[in-house]
Amino acid sequence: MSGLPAPAEAFLQDCRTLRRMSAATLIAYRRDLTELAQLAAAAQEADLRALTQADVRRFAARLHGRGLSPASLARLLSAWRSFYRWLGQRQEVTVNPVVGVRAPRRERRLPKALPVDQAVRLVSQAPQDGALALRDKAMVELLYSSGLRLAELVSLDWRAFGAEGRQAASVSWIDLPQREVVVTGKGGRQRQVPLGAAAAQALQSWLAVRGTLARTEPRALFVSARGTRLAPRSVQQRLEQLARRLGLGVHVHPHVLRHSMASHVLQSSGDLRAVQELLGHANISTTQIYTQLDWQHLAKVYDAAHPRARRKA
């Protein structure tokens, strides 16, 4: 199949222009709708609007039989569900055929968080000489301070830019005087996240030398040695190198620092709603997984400290 059916293309256009979905989300939606169109074509059904719940169940079973993981199947069904919900709003279908179709249960893996001492050691390391070292220090401090996703980090501007003339308005930026980060996250939801003192100081040091690198990208907060907006993979690589240099002995990626921030704030405050706001979760059930991390930490402390919990040698 060379292209998507017209209703699917119209849905993606609506997601791009009206719902302002990120490029990564649009790519995922296109991939999932292409899969749906191919399955429908194989079943000799050219019109996606004519599919029934039985068709969708059969498609899901076929994909699961091919080895698609429960997590991937759940994401794909979510995209299909959104597409048919959109068709229903336009009165092009009367029933959403994906409603009631669920992916197989999957084992819920707990997010990996660093112990407090390791996280503090990672972010408090003294930067080496050079502008790139100051940039890396600021990135790590910001990830741990504000719990940003990787995509949110690299999309940040160093200040808010307006929409005057042809210049597009910023969607995410830092406000150093107010000590906050304005982030546009998943689903186009915007939130304000506090900026810790250590992160603010690291950002000020970086911004003092940023101009020596930013030759081609005047807006991006974090830029490469060539002056372009820093790519997500570059952030991952720099963080991996830092963890190896410090000898942490664990694989550290940006989301580990997000998980660590959430877990450590919850351990200290016990305020699940506050953690939900900081992370930008639409549903608190997503945030509740950190209570399990908190329980694991408590259980380890108990086993190590309680006289009746210790095993005899």
CA angle 202, 204, 206 (to 5 degrees): 70
Choosing from 135, 149, 210, 264, the catalytic residue is 149
137 is catalytic: no
Element (H, E) at 192: strand 190-194
Two structure tokens written together for 183: 């982030």
**Residue among 130, 119, 123 at smallest CA distance from 262:** 119
Q: Does residue 209 contact residue 302 with C-beta atoms inside 8 Å?
A: no
Find out whether 148 and 142 touch, Cβ atoms under 8 Å: yes
Q: Note if 191 is an active site residue.
A: no
Q: Quick check: is 186 catalytic?
A: yes
Q: Tokens at residue 138, please? A: 């600021």
281 tagged catalytic:
yes
Amino acid code (one letter) for 76: L
Distance CA(47)–CA(25), nearest Å, equals: 24
24 phi/psi in degrees, rounded to 5: -65, -40
Burial pattern 12-36, b for ≥16 Cβ within 10 A else e, equals: beebeeeeebbeebeebbbebbebb
29 counts as catalytic: no
Nearest-angstrom CA–CA distance, 66 and 256: 31
Catalytic option among 58, 85, 255, 297 = 255
Q: Which of 135, 137, 258, 259 is catalytic?
A: 258
Contact 155, 219 (CB under 8 A): no
The single residue of 81, 186, 219, 253 carrying the catalytic annotation is 186
211: left (phi over 0), alpha (psi -120 to 50) or beta: alpha
Provide the annotated active-site residues. Answer: 149, 186, 255, 258, 281, 290
